[in-house]
Structure 1
Amino acid sequence: MCETHDHQHFESAGKYPAFEECVTFHGHSCPGLATGYRAALAAMQALSVARPYDEELVTVAETNACGVDAIQLVTGCTAGKGNLIIHDYGKHVFTFYAREKNRAVRILIKNRDVQGREEMDALRKKVFSGIATEPEQKRFYELMAEATEALLTIPQDDMLTVTEVAFNPPEKARIFTTVICPDCGEPVADAKMQTVNGKAVCATCARKN
């Protein structure tokens, strides 16, 4: 949680970063990034919120895949601010909590099927194992681009399920006091210390004991 009481918003409701900005942030364009982008936009629009300055909006992601980067950029929910929480269940599901409105929505990516997916999945194995030929690599990235564009343009109802859920957000991020680990001498958040043989040490030193 940031030490600030300034609740100014970076963006007005209805104005959000373009997908190209997400690509720059993430490092490449891909179908996963596109699904996260669509989920983020759907949530912001359903909740009628702007990109927040602090923790006015909280995201709980059930995957740690590429789409999470688009969600960070669009929603302003980040690990550093403590308003992005990841439970990696391997599911493309995201729940968004708008604290100032006492509302929450759950976004399920119900359909990621696009033309050429079967061929793309087969080529992916070759490309990432390093055995793909140059034409196979070219074809794979062509299919990736086509799939990404399709996911950016498919009607929302065909791709996502948006459900209003009970407002039960995670606790706000805490500001911890820094203490010194007596074993390694390194600074550590006090709440992260662990007691081993009656002595409080950092998690790294605790694993060594």
Structure 2
Amino acid sequence: MKTLLEKEEFERLLAESVKTHGHLCPGQVLGVRLAMLGLKLIGIQDPKGADRKKFLVYVEIDRCATDAIQSVTGCTLGKRSLKFVDYGIMAATFVNLETNRAFRIVAREEARKLADGLFPEIDDRYRRQLEAYKALSDDDLFQVEEVKVDINDFDLPGRPRRRVRCQVCGNWVQDGRDIQQAGQILCRACAFGGYFRRLNS
């Protein structure tokens, strides 16, 4: 963040994000910074207004920074503009649907060590990280690479493109998430086993 205007915008977005997330933490600072950079890279200026249907964001971790990314971008799972890919990596990819340009931004692990050196007078490690993540440059905080994301039509926002019924459990499956197996249409839980077990079956 170089200009006073960028700093003011960061503070405003951070305050909104903290309200949504419930507390201020280093992950909130990191997520707000990451989202601001991602939107800038793909040329989105009004993410919650005129540009809201022009981009998608893929997040790779279910941690604090993801709440911040959602808060800043306005992207949500329900709007189908936020995609969760569970890699366990503090990273997000921003995709402009009009230009097809995409950038993957990964938080640098080295930033934690830089925080120790930048604010050695702060005893609390989390507060040290919080202040450092506000002060460090984007280059110190993030690794950025331009990438190509092949987006399936079933993953785009909008109405479901297909709805079919699982021939085992009877649940309706949307957006091409069904599995064709042994001549049957199945939901993924019936095809592969689910994260849950039915107690009365």
TM over 0.5: yes
- SS of 2:93's partner is strand
Unpaired segments ≥5 residues, structure 1: 1-13, 117-138
Unpaired segments ≥5 residues, structure 2: 1-7
Per-residue deviation at 1:30? Answer: 1.5
Per-residue deviation at 1:22? Answer: 0.9
CA contact 2:165–2:185 (8 Å) conserved in 1: no
Q: How does 1:122-137 map to 2 (within 5 A)?
A: none
Q: How many residues align?
A: 172
Q: How does 1:135-150 map to 2 (within 5 A)?
A: 143-150=125-132
Per-residue deviation at 1:106? Answer: 2.5
Residue 171 of structure 1 is matched in structure 2 by 152
Cα–Cα, structure 1 residues 100 and 189, in superposed 2: closer, same or farther, change >3 Å?
A: closer
Per-residue deviation at 1:184? Answer: 4.3
Residue 115 of structure 1 is matched in structure 2 by 116
- Give yes or no for the alignment of 1:28 onto 2:23: yes
Percent identity of paired positions between Structure 1 and Structure 2? 30
Letter in 1 for 2:85: H
Cα–Cα, structure 1 residues 204 and 51, in superposed 2: closer, same or farther, change >3 Å?
A: same
Cα–Cα, structure 1 residues 195 and 94, in superposed 2: closer, same or farther, change >3 Å?
A: closer
CA contact 1:193–1:203 (8 Å) conserved in 2: yes
Give TM-score, length-normalised by structure 1. 0.64
Once residues 146 and 166 of structure 1 are traced to their aligned partners in structure 2, the CA distance between those partners, rounded to angstroms, is: 32
Once residues 40 and 105 of structure 1 are traced to their aligned partners in structure 2, the CA distance between those partners, rounded to angstroms, is: 11
Give TM-score, length-normalised by structure 2. 0.66
Residue 7 of structure 1 is matched in structure 2 by none
Per-residue deviation at 1:178? Answer: 4.0
Residue 104 of structure 1 is matched in structure 2 by 102
Once residues 91 and 204 of structure 1 are traced to their aligned partners in structure 2, the CA distance between those partners, rounded to angstroms, is: 26
- SS of 1:192's partner is coil
Residue 84 of structure 2 is matched in structure 1 by 86
Q: Relative CO higher for 1 or 2, CA cutoff 8 Å, sep ≥ 6?
A: 1
Per-residue deviation at 1:45? Answer: 2.1
- SS of 2:176's partner is helix
Per-residue deviation at 1:176? Answer: 4.2
Letter in 2 for 1:34: V
CA contact 1:58–1:169 (8 Å) conserved in 2: no
CA contact 1:37–1:70 (8 Å) conserved in 2: yes
- Give yes or no for the alignment of 1:51 onto 2:47: yes
Deviations 1:79-132 (A, max 9, x none): 22223223333322322111223422222222331229xxxxxxxxxxxxxxxx
What is the root-mean-square deviation of aligned Cα atoms in Å?
A: 3.4
Per-residue deviation at 1:151? Answer: 0.9
